[in-house]
Amino acid sequence: MKISTGWREKENALSCQNPVAAGWTPARQAQTAKPTTGFYHPSKPWQSKTHWTLAVCAWKGSYSDLGGRDNSSALLRKQNQFRLAVRGFTLVEMLVVIVIISILLGLMFPALNAAREASRSTTCQNNLKQFYVGMLTHAQTHGKFCSGAMDWNRDGCVTEVGWVADLVQLGIPVGKMLCPSNPALLTETYQDLLGGSSLDPCVDHLGSPPKDLPDGSQQINPCRRIIEQNLAPGSEARTQLVFTEIHKKFYNTNYTASWFLVRTGVRLDASGNLTGAGSGCEVSLASRGSTLGPLSPALLDSSPVPNSLVPIMGCGASVGQLSQAMGSVPAGTFLTKAFTTGPVRNPEMTPPTFAPGTPRTGPNGWWAGWNATRQDYRGFAPVHRGYCNVLFGDGSVRQVKDLNQDFLINNGFTASGSNGFADSQIEWPPEEVFSGWSLRDIVSP
């Protein structure tokens, strides 16, 4: 901005070079058609001899004074107003804005995280419901909800036996339908597939025989190829085979089946002890030879236990880490438990044992001993911000809350130094879940 003390100066700022074009009007001219002093020529109004002593060229307008008065203070006020109108943020103002934004973000992030987790939990629940529909379809043809657990060591070839294989064969890509909140991305049987060398001799690990194809080649399942081609544990050939023929074809899960779904009940000898399928076979609650096999709709419907209390499957707990990389899956990936443990003593967490000749009846009989056990559900994990999604026998999916935040679901066990429970608080009471040892033999001996 340039200040002129007389109208003879024509080198003003750009907007002052042609005052009329810029919107200026001589103050004297605005009041009278002819100046009272000085000489006025219409074609050269800016060369009049009037006593105009001050003219100011500002943005989009002008300032002029009439009568020779010095309005320099007014000019300074105008300049100050202009400076106030265009000045930027001060440092203090900027810091205040940053603090306010930080507070708003701090309030907003927990809500966003909660919304994301709610979405993940809904996805998980939808997965479980789709699994249930697939199991019902399988039961219509085979009479049981599934053919067993996804467990190569105890159940057989994972591409042919187990609830995962059953659903994949029905067109349900179980391996793509993982619980999105679970940090574990594989089931524990992958450790056996990659490096297992000691398998239960009483289980068929080979699976179906080779199938001749029209082109003369043979189709051989990956489990048979591992054994018949003698692929060494941890070798590149074995790892690549497991990754491409099993993992990439959706034979995987991070959900844990309940013991009821894949084992149903126990096989006992005359003294009430677990029995095996034969000499050298594994004898345990996890073994197919020591249990009754997969659950059937007929048994579930005829049981005095309501379907809505029998757990079928839930979010899986981590039981270890992958010892080596497998394709795009890095070493150290967490593994989920294939199925829950079954009925155990409180608080020892082991199945009961009895002396030979122990009778079934009486307060010291083996029936009373088994009836005092309860299901070990530590294979289910509260991965959804302290909640675990569980599918039940009626097809419903409900949440169980980890009240004491020990990442375990306690359905009535007494806390001890070895079972992992932080305290004895019951988080899954009997009115919400069945924890008994048998779906049939629960009323009287």
pLDDT for residue 436: 95
The residue among 252 and 73 whose pLDDT is bigger is: 252
Average pLDDT, the chain: 85
At 258-291, the pLDDT tens digits run 999 999 999 999 999 999 988 889 999 999 999 9
Which residue from 406, 399, 445 is spatially nearest to 424, judged by alpha carbons?
Answer: 406
What is the average pLDDT across 244-269?
98
Q: CA–CA separation, 389 vs 380, rounded Å?
A: 9
pLDDT more than 70, % of the chain = 79
Contacts of 111 (CB under 8 A, 6+ apart): none
Given a cut of 50, whether residue 178 has pLDDT beyond it is yes
For 340-391, write each residue's pLDDT tens digit.
999 999 999 999 999 999 999 999 999 999 999 999 999 999 999 999 999 9
Average pLDDT of the residues in 204-212? 95
More confident residue, 48 or 164: 164
On whether the CB atoms of residues 206 and 229 are closer than 8 A, the answer is no
Positive/negative CA dihedral, 227, 229, 234, 236: negative
Mean predicted confidence (pLDDT) in 28-44: 42
Q: What backbone phi and psi angles, to 5 degrees, belong to 61? A: 175, -165
- The SS3 of residue 104 is helix
Query: How far apart are alpha carbons 236 and 231 in whole angstroms?
Result: 9
Distance CA 351, CA 340 (A): 13
pLDDT of 167 > 80? The answer is yes
Residue extents of the structural domains in the chain = 3-86, 125-401
Q: Which two three-digit tokens encode residue 163?
A: 């609830």
Q: Is the pLDDT of residue 6 over 50?
A: no
Answer yes or no: is pLDDT of 133 > 60: yes
Span between the terminal Cα atoms of the chain, in Å? 106
- 362 burial (CB, 10 Å; 0-12 / 13-18 / 19+) is exposed
One-letter identity of residue 226: I
Secondary structure element (H or E) that encloses residue 311, with its range: strand 311-315
Residue entry with tokens 């044992």: 353
Question: Band of the pLDDT at 171, cuts 50, 70, 90?
Answer: very high
Predicted local confidence at residue 75, as pLDDT: 55
Question: At CB < 8 A and 24+ separation, what contacts does 352-355 make?
Answer: 352/272, 353/273, 354/271, 354/272, 354/273, 355/271
pLDDT digits (tens, 9 = 90+) for 308-345: 999 999 999 999 999 999 999 999 999 999 999 999 99
Tell me the C-alpha distance between 224 and 246, whole Å.
12
